[in-house]
A and B are shown apart, each in its own frame.
Chain A
């Protein structure tokens, strides 16, 4: 077991047990942080290939709306199944859109992904059946057939989120170490060489795109369950921008980095909105500027030296 997986195990066990004695609002905030960290983890996989999606809110929103619609249409209440449905639906749509997007790079990839997210946003705002911009309420989920009450109401979703994050981090970590995962940086470096080694760059990017979408779908579904309502804003470009912001903040050094970045971002936003309700975006902007100037590899680069020394 290497350093990343050891750190993952320790963190997950500590959080799972620690949450029993933690106030509600912190558990809620931690759920949001980890769920958004999942979205950022997906963006990190793309970013390592040199691709930035300015439309990841498309899949985040699909995950959220999948939860709401599954509750309405099939009466599905189980939290695990709802999150799984959001993940699978986002991945399925990414399989289709990926055939187009995998051909594009750089700004074209970024703008095309943005365009798709804005199409969904426009549709949702105009859609009366999905209650437009009025809130679309999400019913409290059940866990393995049990109605939520007591500890389960408080911690059930958090534990589910932790489980999802554990699977995601483990999976992405293994993926990045695999021959296919090694193609992330290789494609960024030199696509011609990858093709002449005999692998399809388009296919490799398509797979990454679907992984990123599935993670965003899972994150969106969890946030919908945690917050209890769904809004077209979840698919708006500012939401996508926020995810890109956190990706840069996190750095691409490890599959754990997105969660550290997400925690810093949510904490920063919480304090910035509390102390400067009218200029908190400015604080975020200054923070990003300082980050790019002094930590261009993201906050994870602070850990990296120590991690490398610890690794055999």
Chain B
């Protein structure tokens, strides 16, 4: 019976250590990054986001994209992320320093988005895909985000940012589909997702 107090004391200490190891330590080690500045070019990595992309992060959060998409390219030996072309190198903690919240994600009902801006650099593609994902990617079960767009009558000339859609979602004659500000912000954010900049702690793995 006298071992019991020892067990309890040990339990308490370990619980305390877990707090230090998984909460306090990460704050100090992974929560105070500054960006890396390349000596020769002056490039800042990770690059700061445009204002629209920052707003786009909020739309990403508000729409719950993390429940189908991850944003972490895993290391060599942990899955086929690199072989699938989801990134030139694994992602590291500093890559997330500008993200709030960090969109690591835990499901891959859809592909990893860490570098979607590099894979799909076209704004038009993103708008079309958000509106009609099953048409752009046959077999996809991604829902349509049509609620981020407006169907409106064309007045005079077609709007500059009206998007092209394939049937069956193409607007009827005289009408156009125009993204709301939220849709444009979201796409600006998606285009910004490109972590192929080099970081000293994350060298590109040999091919």
Q: A and B from one assembly?
A: no
